[in-house]
Structure 1
């Protein structure tokens, strides 16, 4: 059985001696630094380092243990607050109703009548034919009642019903300059 190497001998693989010699210059530097620190402490101690505080922004609060607006928030809460602050609640609700239009007016009427715009309590609806426009005009008071039940009272006061888009004869091959239009075309 081989004998363990002597602790005073150097390790052949690492090439390092088991006894470590210190750098004399580094030791002297550490001793002189420790001496200066002792002298400074005897004279009056160390003054604490003053940290610069960040300038406080007007209205900024100091962080605390209680939750506040600077903490991470749920997206639904943040979007709700944004809509409320910007006054978009009614517009978002109206667009939600427009997305559910077939369930409000029925699938057959939704196929022929599409909501186009909402502006200041007036809902504009475009129909596919004049017959559907007449039908919707008759049902307008009931539609206003249903929409106000969904959105809140007073949100929709008028349903502006518009018929289908008709061709314009102001441009094209059947235009007459200064004339009376297409009347003589259907003669």
Structure 2
């Protein structure tokens, strides 16, 4: 036979549903093992109101993502090309555009040879400004080229030598 007085004392600590179940089954509830034990955390990373818990800006998150992914150089080069008008000036940007960036050499194509020569005179200033604004782009030198001129050195019947001379007049 089951002693009801000991079960009643033990069941008083347990929730009512557990007490009822144990009483009907004729069992004694175990010591407080049925209660959830609270986890004790040693790290305070998730504690509220601690430093570093404030939400960051979207710009900070994107900077961290680009740094972690190794995209900084590529993004700096793209920014340089897209912001050429701000860098070189609006009038200069109308007559020139960056066309390639390889091994630290930025090649800029100009509308005329006169613009290419004028920009060569301003090379040091432009390189300094690029280094200040876009240090991750890796631009070390600039090359300015004029417009494409017709070449007489192509085709199956091209002859070596200087090409045609006094044929225009």
TM (norm. structure 1) is 0.53
1:110 aligns with 2:93: yes
Alignment counterpart, residue 131 of structure 1, candidates 114, 124, 127: 114
Tell me the secondary structure at the aligned position of residue 122 of structure 2: helix
Name 1:25's counterpart in structure 2: none
Alignment partners' CA distance in 2, 1:153 and 1:74:
22
1:149 aligns with 2:128: no
**Aligned alpha-carbon RMSD (Å):** 4.1
1:64 aligns with 2:46: yes
The number of residues matched between the two structures is: 138
Alignment check: 8 A CA contact 2:87 2:129 kept: yes
Alignment partners' CA distance in 1, 2:136 and 2:159:
47
Alignment partners' CA distance in 2, 1:169 and 1:49:
92
Alignment counterpart, residue 180 of structure 1, candidates 147, 159, 165: 159
Name 1:56's counterpart in structure 2: none
1:38 aligns with 2:17: no
Cα displacement (A) at 1:97:
3.4
Alignment counterpart, residue 119 of structure 1, candidates 88, 91, 102: 102
Alignment partners' CA distance in 2, 1:89 and 1:153:
7
Unaligned 5+ runs, structure 2: 1-18, 37-42
Deviations 1:41-73 (A, max 9, x none): x323378499xxxxxxxxxx998225799x976
Alignment check: 8 A CA contact 2:76 2:136 kept: no
Greater Rg over alpha carbons, structure = 1
Q: Structure 1 pair 63/104, CA: closer, same or farther in 2 (3 Å)?
A: closer
Cα displacement (A) at 1:170:
7.7
Describe how 1:67-82 pairs up with structure 2 within 5 A.
74-82=57-65
Name 1:85's counterpart in structure 2: 68
Alignment partners' CA distance in 1, 2:146 and 2:100:
14
